[in-house]
Amino acid sequence: MVLMATHVDDPRVHPLGLIKMTVDRNAFGRQKESFEADIAIEGLDGGAFHAVFIRAPLVTTTGIGVKVISRIPRGIVAVECGRHMAFAFHPELGGDTRLHERFLMGLGI
């Protein structure tokens, strides 16, 4: 998410600018503030997605064409823009492959 943004709150980070969004890096604090939560993701069948947030960022603003697909009370944690997806959590750390499948389907694979 941090690297895909157009703007990041840390001047040491030079993002790729793939998705028009501003990201607050490490928005939840240090490693000890990492957490897990079941979250709703727009358009994802099968119920809540178990998300693992490790030193997680948050999206603070989005630009034209960016679709917010998940929010938690603290802010935006998942977006889509064209063929790109960005998450504040680590979908690869669980056994749920629905987001991976959604990404691949978006690529036509």
Whether 71 and 79 have beta carbons less than 8 Å apart is answered as no
β partners of residue 85: 80
Q: Which CATH class is domain 7-106?
A: alpha beta
Print pLDDT tens along the chain (109 aa). 999 999 999 999 999 999 999 999 989 888 888 999 999 999 999 999 999 999 999 999 999 999 999 999 999 999 999 999 999 999 999 899 999 999 998 766 6
Scanning 29-97, the segments in alpha helix (DSSP H) are: none
Q: How far apart are CA 36 and CA 51, in angstroms?
A: 6
The pTM of the full predicted model, rounded to 2 decimals, is 0.92
pLDDT in tens, 54-78: 999 999 999 999 999 999 999 999 9
DSSP assignment string, 11-25: TT------S-EEEET
Boundaries of every domain in the chain: 7-106
Q: How far apart are CA 58 and CA 46, in angstroms?
A: 25
